[in-house]
Amino acid sequence: MYPLLRKSLNLIKDKKVLLALSGGIDSMVLLHLLMAENIYVEVVHVDHASRKGMSTHDKAFVSQFCKRNNIIFHTENYIHSKGNFQQEARNFRYLIFNNLLSFRQLDYLLTAHHLDDRKETFLLNAFRGTGLRGLTSLHWKQGNILRPLIEWKKSDIFNYASKHQIPYVEDSSNEDNLYVRNLVRNSIIPPLEKMIPQTNQGINATLINLSTTYDLLDELVEKTITPYISMRGPVLSIHLDSGLHLTNAHALLFHYVSQFGFNFHQVCQLMESSTGALFYSETHIMEKSRKKIILAQQTATIISPITIHNFGTYEFSPGISITFVEVDKKAINSEIDSTLFLSYQKCTFPLMVRTWLPGDFFFPPGMDGRRKKLKKLFGDLKLANIEKSITPVVVSESHILAVLPYKVDSRYVVNEEDDKMIGVSLHVEHIGNTES
């Protein structure tokens, strides 16, 4: 038995797993192996509504097989609207997979990727221009994703299926060279193998060598950059007193941020750029700040206003929540960290919490009734653009009451006449070293 297959089976023997099952030969072989080992497995199948109705036939085949073998079966339909079909379908599948893992409390997701898949991915990513992460993708284990067949050649899978008479469905789209991966599989690799008989061995050896280098870079990043990484709510910061002073800092930083979709050219530009420069991947935004590099998901910086109808805790954005409580003024002997107090008499529900808007201003205490723009406040606080975009602002009608967790508008501060106060606390999840 292949070492990584045995390692996988040992790892999951007392676990509950989810298998992505298309009904094709690869995933059906993997399911047979799991059943032979009495592994607890649930199956998920995504119908892509393609191939002129044949995908529906695949779903019926998988459903009936699971029913006959008392396997819990999950299915979802993907309807393509726009963009790259294969990439968008993949994103949809993994969203479904992750939701099921959480909802069903399953330990691992298993996919039936094999050695030929890894070879194709290596070539595709090399053609596109990538780093070590792309060249060495499809590892045996990535987080809670396992690929037990990653050492198997396609011929091994065919032989196993034939020996054990495993039923499966054929996917005719695998022959369609309109898809780049199919073109590589069907028209580029076979001639190469004929001209260079050692093509397979050479690519496999290269993958092993690159994986070793990748692991070494991982270790270096762990020692020089990871200790200086912190999370504050949805914002990740890499502090510039980390290993980024090294001669090959560009390579180290790229090795880390490539997981968020950034390329080497962007990293080189960022390292040479001035404060405030912004860079975008498909999913994330990255900013060069004064003392750190800041990253966040683009969706995390798009925050909808929330209405506060009463006291309680409200989620403002992922990792950030805000609590409104009624406080007896006499019970407070000193300031409470990260809590601002508003006059109970001057503030009435409903309130609103939103992000700042261009032109926003308030009247800070100690400025003799003069107003101050939030843009100026953020500049004084030395906040990066991404940090500004997730800073909560408490509003009543058109008036700003407070900017959390920094200032209360002087018109709404607690005065001697107030017996009660409204305490507003900002709660932000912190991970790692948060010193700036």
Q: Is 240 exposed, middle or buried (0-12, 13-18, 19+ CB in 10 A)?
A: middle
CA–CA gap between residue 218 and residue 230 (Å, rounded): 18
Structure tokens at 140: 């045996």
Structure tokens at 335: 């300031």
pLDDT of residue 52: 60
Spatial neighbors of 28 by CB under 8 A, at least 6 apart, are 21, 161, 166, 167, 168
Q: Rounded mean pLDDT of 26-54? A: 88
Residue 211 has pLDDT above 50, yes or no: yes
Q: Confirm if 408 and 421 have CB atoms less than 8 A apart.
A: no
Backbone φ, ψ for residue 231 (5° rounding): -120, 130
Q: What is the pTM of this model?
A: 0.65
Beta strands in 329-390 (DSSP E): 339-343, 351-354, 361-362, 372-373
pLDDT of residue 435: 38
pLDDT of residue 177: 66
- DSSP H helices in 144-235: 154-164, 180-183, 189-195, 199-224
C-alpha radius of gyration, the chain, whole number: 28
State how beta strands 430-432 and 351-354 pair: unpaired
What percentage of the chain exceeds 90 in pLDDT? 47
- Tell me how crowded residue 245 is: count the other CB atoms within 10 A of its CB: 9
Residue 432 has pLDDT above 60, yes or no: no
The region of weakest confidence among 6-20, 37-51, 85-99, 276-290 is: 85-99
Residue 245 has pLDDT above 70, yes or no: no
pLDDT of residue 246: 65
Cis amide prior to 350 (ω within 30 degrees)? yes
Q: Rounded mean pLDDT of 91-102? A: 89
- Tell me how crowded residue 165 is: count the other CB atoms within 10 A of its CB: 7
pLDDT of residue 430: 58
Q: Which amino acid does the sequence have at 78?
A: Y
Confidence at 1, pLDDT banded by 50, 70, 90: confident
Q: Three-class SS of residue 237?
A: strand
Q: Rounded mean pLDDT of 284-290? A: 92
* pLDDT tens digits for range 173-188: 666 666 677 888 888 8
Spatial neighbors of 219 by CB under 8 A, at least 6 apart, are none
Q: Rounded mean pLDDT of 247-266? A: 86
Nearest to 27 by CA among 60, 51, 62, 57: 62
Confidence at 148, pLDDT banded by 50, 70, 90: very high
Confidence at 335, pLDDT banded by 50, 70, 90: low
The region of weakest confidence among 17-26, 100-109, 122-131, 171-180 is: 171-180
pLDDT of residue 56: 82
